Amino acid sequence: MSVMSVDFSSLHRLGWRPHFQSQLAPDHTCEPARIMGVRVEVATESGHSFVDLHPQSASLGLTVGDWVILDKSGLRITERLQPFGIFQRRAAGSTAERQAIAANVDTLFIVTSANRDFNIARLERYLAI
């Protein structure tokens, strides 16, 4: 399927914005998709599917919520669009590397236990982040 025939308004329900549209070349022929899970599940206007991470796409630093471009077959990620926002944390270990948790988040719910483990200071830290 050619992206030229994609009704981008139908991608709006997945979070598509003009921010991403502006990153596409006018003559693009690939399909935009949003990463939906860590198994590289993507959603397009055609529905959900799983794509392979080839060595080239594995180096893109993908995370849940990213918008990507699929090749013409729809089976391979060719490009990651620049996110408008990203949640990240310091990666485990002694290095100063950052680990992406989610990208392009519009709404976030913070849920905490109300049992003995409830900690108001922890909740305040989550809200501050």
Residue 37 pLDDT:
62
Which letter, b or e, does each residue of 6-16 get, where b requires 16 or more Cβ atoms within 10 Å of its Cβ? beeeebeebeb
The burial of 81, by beta-carbon neighbours within 10 Å (0-12 exposed, 13-18 middle, 19 or more buried), is given as: buried
Give SS3 for 124. helix
Helices (H), 8-72: 8-11, 18-21, 55-58
**Structure-token pair, residue 34:** 């949003």
Residue 83 pLDDT:
93
pTM of the model: 0.60
Number of neighbours of residue 67 by Cβ within 10 angstroms: 25
18 phi, psi to nearest 5 deg: -55, -30
Residue 56 pLDDT:
67
pLDDT by residue for the chain (129 residues), tens only, comes to 344 456 667 788 888 888 988 888 887 777 888 887 656 788 888 888 888 776 666 678 888 899 988 888 877 888 889 999 988 888 777 777 888 888 998 888 888 888 888 888 988 888 887
